[in-house]
Amino acid sequence: MADEKARQMPPMGGPGRRGGMVAKPDVKVNKETVKRLFSYFGKYKIHLIFVMFFIILSSVASVASSLFLKTLIDSYIAPMLFPNASVTFTDLFGALCKMGCLYLCGALAGFLYNRIMANVSQGILKKIRDRMFEHMQSLPIKYFDSHNFGDTMSFYTNDTDALRQMISQSVPQAMSSLVTIVSIFFAMLRQSVWLTLFVVVFLFAITRIIGFIGKKSGMFFMKQQRSVASVNSFIEEMINGQKVVKVFCHEDKNKEEFDKRNDDLCHNMTTANTYGNIVGPIMNNMGYILYVALAILGGILAIKGVTNLTLFGFEEAITLGTIASFLTMSRNFVMPISHISQQINAIAMAMAGAERIFSLIDEKPETDDGYVTLVNAKTDKDGNITESEARTGMWAWKHPHRDGTVTYTQLKGDIVLDDVDFAYIEGKTVLHNVSLFAEPGQKVAFVGATGAGKTTITNLINRFYDIADGKIRYDGININKIKKADLRRSMGIVLQDVNLFTGTVMDNIRYGKLDATDEECIAAAKLANADGFIRMLPEGYNTVLEGDGSGLSQGQRQLISIARAAVADPPVMILDEATSSIDTRTEAIVQRGMDALMHGRTVFVIAHRLSTVKNSDVIMVLEQGRIIERGNHEKLIAEKGKYYQLYTGAFELE
């Protein structure tokens, strides 16, 4: 395909860009992002209620087991140490069974809420992926021309995986930890206010440190997400372009560029994980220090016989059971705080992913103000065109008017461009005052140097881009009034770069018309001169193609794409350098297929080999976005202008 569009679009690399993605300032998590993300939880309210119930049950079981430890020691174990104890081993065994039941309930509740959240997370991610893909289908071609494929793929891989980890693990763990902290806090107050105050003061200093670390960690995790997208984009580009890389011996330069991007990723990931990974060790070691300090303080209070103030009154003294129970609860109090601090990393990464996902969803979709539609039509006995529910082989434009009337215009393929101007980037005009007409059944060829504007004209006809000024009419109707889907349905396009999809050969041909029968697909293949080689494939038309048809030659892939266009039977065809990448012998076969396809249709041809456009009804010679010559082959040769120079130069090259 001619690359004038690439020359005019914003560059994919260069200052301010990484792998096709515009470099942005650090993303700050805001309430709107959180609100949008959790709006996807609406369908799972009942599930979340059960999750909360099981989290509370798990926390209560944990607290109850810690409280029961005091009773176990003071009422069962300690009395058995003295002679003539009234407590028997049977009593102790019963108490241990009760404690085991509490732990079992907590473990079962933990299993259930994690299992439910796994289902919830997958359901939410499915909805997000569906929303992303649905919106992506509505984006204009301009978006894909200006964004790297690898960066777009990162939305569906890295970013959604970060969300999965947050929803299925980080959120329930954070909720569980929060409930546990509150529960244990009140349980510790019940045991001893003095010891609880000591724990609160001790943890206040820790949380200030953790807050600072978490802020730094979150910032670098957001940078990490963008660096991952940059690396993935570059890798995908290199995989797709390995032939070009090897032809131009660009391996060393690519290694250098990859090392640069990978170093950036390594730096961001190392810094993020350095901050993130020190949180756990800090909390654990401080927890051990707290544990020892509480044991010493509790022992001193117990030995001194200090009155133990509790939430519900006074006790005579701190017992061994009180100290053991409080130490257990202090560990259970510190651990959830550690868990929450550790989840900050995953949450920061997920929110960075959410920001990127919502940036895709917020991309402005392709607008379509058209109201003229394409319908099956027939002619009544008076010669008037009317709409038909059945397929008749005749098409018409259904044009509703403000007064309530509807007119039908037969689809013929009459296309007119009138003083059209266009710019991919505002202020940098690509086409200047382009005017041309193509009558039904006429073959119009565009000739010119790379960047002259040939492909741009065809992109405007099918409204991949909208014109800045002028008019384009299709069968006398302004194409802005025609719905884009109907406009494009009336056209067939064969591109230089062939895209085949995973599936059978028959499926790839049927892509041009989803309701086409096998017989119609085979007829289209015969028309395109593709039937012969298809039947020689291992499974014929049922041969599965993978990797963009990697097992086929370039000419065979192009013939399938021609068959795909032929099965739609459109009145207008656009052939964009369809034979530029195949050899001369294969070109002759492909050309016969295209000649059969072009018969009786309005055809726009872009060709770098001028021999393929000699039989065109009119040839447009473009230079820097302007039509400088027009006429048939004989007329242009006689004028000895630009076309003559191009044509004779082509023969000299051969």
**Cβ neighbours for 57, distance < 8 A, ≥ 6 positions apart:** 105, 106, 109
Note the pTM of the prediction, 2 decimals.
0.67
pLDDT of residue 118: 86
Q: Which domain holds residue 64?
A: 4-20+34-361
**DSSP assignment letter at 72:** I
Average pLDDT over residues 141-169: 84
- Give the type of residue at 236: E
Residue 475's pLDDT is what? 92
- Residue 372's pLDDT band (cuts 50, 70, 90): very high
Residue 318 lies in a domain: yes
- Binning pLDDT at 50, 70 and 90, where does residue 398 land? very high
Q: Which two tokens stand for residue 9?
A: 């679009």
Q: Are 106 and 334 in contact (CB under 8 A)?
A: no
Among 584, 586, 585, CA closest to 557: 586
Please report, for the domain that includes residue 326, its CATH number.
Answer: 1.20.1560.10
Q: In this structure, is residue 264 part of a structural domain? A: yes
What mean pLDDT is predicted for residues 318-336?
A: 77
Three-state helix/strand/coil letters over 604-646: EEECCCHHHHCCCCEEEEEECCEEEEEECHHHHHHHCCHHHHH
Checking if the pLDDT of 171 tops 70, the result is: yes
pLDDT reported for residue 472: 93
For residue 451, tell me if it sits in a domain: no
Q: What are phi and psi of 512, to 5 degrees?
A: -75, -20
How confident is the model over 500-524, as pLDDT tens digits? 888 899 999 998 888 889 999 998 8
Within a domain: 155: yes
CA distance 36 to 383: 57
Confidence at 583, pLDDT banded by 50, 70, 90? low
Among 585, 150, 625, CA closest to 420: 625
Residue 409 lies in a domain: no
| Among 156-165, 187-196, 213-222, 289-298, the range of highest mean pLDDT | 156-165
Is 289 domain-assigned?
yes
pLDDT at 87: 63
Residue 81 has pLDDT above 70, yes or no: no
∠ CA 413-417-419, rounded to 5°: 170
For 387, the 3-state DSSP assignment is strand
Report the candidate in 521, 518, 514 with the shortest Cα–Cα distance to residue 567: 521
Report the chain's mean pLDDT, rounded to a whole number.
79
Distances (CA, A) of 321 to 65, 92, 290, 300, 306: 13, 15, 18, 15, 16
Which has the higher per-residue pLDDT, 597 or 155? 155
Average pLDDT over residues 242-247: 68
Read off the pLDDT of each residue in 241-251 and give the average, rounded to a whole number: 70
The CA-based dihedral angle spanning residues 133, 563, 244, 256, taken in that order and rounded to the nearest 10 degrees: 10
131 inside domain: yes
Per-residue pLDDT of 259-289, as tens digits, reads: 888 888 888 888 777 776 776 677 677 777 8
Evaluate whether 264 touches 183 at the Cβ level (below 8 Å): no
What is the sign of the dihedral through the CA atoms of 592, 593, 596 and 598? negative
Most confident of 19-28, 344-353, 467-476: 467-476
pLDDT for 589 equals 67
Answer yes or no: are the C-beta atoms of 207 and 214 closer than 8 Å: no
Least confident of 125-134, 170-179, 230-239, 551-560: 230-239
Q: Does residue 472 contact residue 416 with C-beta atoms inside 8 Å?
A: yes
Q: How far is CA 244 from CA 71, 107, 251, 605, in A?
A: 76, 58, 10, 27
19 vs 51, residue with greater confidence: 51
Using the predicted structure, report yes or no on whether residue 317 has a pLDDT greater than 80: no
The answer on pLDDT for 33 being more than 80 is yes
Q: Reply yes or no on whether the pLDDT at 179 is more than 60.
A: yes
More confident residue, 546 or 26: 546
Q: Is 369 exposed, middle or buried (CB count within 10 Å of its CB: 0-12, 13-18, 19+)? A: exposed
Percent of the chain with pLDDT over 70: 83
Residue with tokens 């790839």: 508
User: Region 110-115: what's the mean pLDDT?
Assistant: 88
Tell me: pLDDT of 17 over 60. Answer: no
Residue 10 is predicted with a pLDDT of: 39
Read off the tokens for 382. Answer: 């008076």
Which burial class, exposed, middle or buried, applies to 406 when counting CB atoms under 10 A from its CB (0-12, 13-18, 19+)?
A: exposed
Q: Where are the alpha helices (DSSP H) in 241-315?
A: 242-247, 251-304
d(CA 265, CA 267): 5
- The model's confidence at residue 429, banded by pLDDT at 50, 70 and 90, is confident
Q: How confident is the model at residue 416, as a pLDDT?
A: 93
Mean pLDDT of 120-126: 89
- The pair of structure tokens assigned to 34 is 């959180």
- pLDDT reported for residue 25: 35
Number of domains forming the structure of the chain: 1
In a domain, 406, yes or no: no
For residue 408, report the phi and psi dihedrals to the nearest 5 degrees: -120, 130
Higher per-residue pLDDT: 537 or 9: 537
Residue 496 or residue 455, greater confidence? 455
